[in-house]
Every structure is written in C-alpha cells, then in structure tokens.
Amino acid sequence: MTPTSRQIALLKAAVFVLALVPLAQMVYLTLAGALVEPLQYITRATGDWTLYFLCITLAVTPLRRLSKWNWLLKLRRMLGLYAFFYGLLHFTTFLWFDHFFDVAEMLKDVAKRPFILVGFIAFVLLIPLAATSTNGMIKRLGGKNWQWLHRLIYVIAPLGVLHFWWMKAAKNDLAQPALFTALVAILLLMRVWWARQKAKAPARA
C-alpha cells in the first residue's frame, strides 16, 4: 500500500512533533525542579537522542529495502536533521552550561576525558550534512556528489558509538554501548552486503 501525499504530510507532521517530545520533557523536568543534577541529565539525554536519531536515520534505507515502503525515504531528511538538532543541543550544553565558553576549561576536560574529542569530531562531520540537506543544495552539488558527502553518516554513527563506548568503559558499564555497536554494525553491514550483491549482478546476467 502506498500512502497518499496527504497521508505522508500527516505522518511527517506527526514525526516532527514526536521528535520534539524528548526536548519538551527535558525542559519540563528542568523547570519543574524535578532533576537532582539537571546539567548531567540534559547532557546525557541530548547525547542519547543524538545517537538514537543517527541510528533511526541509518535504519531508513534497510527498512525501505526490506519492506518495499519507498515512502519511508520521505522521512529520512527530517530524522537526520533531528540527529543534528539534538547534537547541537548536546554540544551547546557542554559549551555553555558546563563550561561557560571557557576554552581553557574545555581543553582541560577533553584532556581528562578524551572521549569528548571523538564526540566533537562526529558533531563537526554532521555540520556539512545538515548544511546541504536542502533541495537547493542537492541541485547545486549534483546528486552523485551529494550522495558521496552524505555517506559521512557511515563514519559519524560509529564515532558516536565509540564516544559512548569510551565514556561508559571508564565506568565498566558496556551493556548499552555493546547494543548500539551491534545495531550500527548490522545497519552498515546490510549496506555492504547489498553493494556486493549489486556488483556481482551484471556478472551473473
């Protein structure tokens, strides 16, 4: 079944609103004074949601291929932009509320917790993807170049997982990072497998 353009528009609106629920929850809990350590909670929640949206965005193509629901592609740009949005909130929390833009303090923190640098690299790599997400930029870059650039997500997601893994390794709490490592590995390996099948196809014909 292919949804009508009206149904797609409704679905997009629903996803747009749902993706803001974690932010609304963070704002509510902070303003209600319900958090014992608001800074830590917000840093972690925004980090978690950045990783969730990266994984959800990476899952769109495999899900589309397996289900043949091509309309799923229409949600991909928004999901990717939400990964950037929560990444920006996560970075801003670190920069502003944790370190008050004090570069020396930030560098000291990075020296103490090098996993932050990995997160920073992942975030910097997300910027060109967000900046080129418009139809105008796809036209300007050309489809092929745009596609190549957006393959950066294959580097960004593993870096995000490494950042998470490294942080949790210090606490000997690797259950969740292991789960995300497996998820990202499966989502990437499915692409490798499909690419190899495609490369083999003409030889078989």
Cβ-based nearer residue to ligand HEM, 44 or 74: 44
The binding track of 72-111 with respect to ligand HEM, each residue x by CB under 6 A or -, is: ---------------x--xx--x-----------------
With contacts defined by CB under 6 A, name the span among 23-31, 62-70, 118-126, 192-200 that binds ligand HEM.
118-126
* Residue 57 interacts with ligand HEM (CB under 6 A): yes or no: no
Q: Whose CA is closest to 41, among 125, 33, 132, 199? A: 33
CA distances from 137 to 7, 132, 143, 148, 197 (A): 27, 5, 10, 13, 31
The binding track of 141-180 with respect to ligand HEM, each residue x by CB under 6 A or -, is: ---------------x---x--xx--x-------------
Q: For the chain, how are helix, strand and coil distributed in percent, rounded to 5?
A: 85, 0, 15
List the one residue from 11, 12, 15, 44 that touches ligand HEM (CB under 6 A).
44
Rounded least distance, CB 90 to ligand HEM, Å: 5
Integer-rounded Cα radius of gyration of the chain: 19
Q: Could you tell me which residues come within 8 angstroms of residue 12 by beta carbon, excluding any fewer than 6 positions away?
A: 74, 75, 78
The binding track of 7-36 with respect to ligand HEM, each residue x by CB under 6 A or -, is: ------------------------------
* Two structure tokens written together for 154: 């294959």
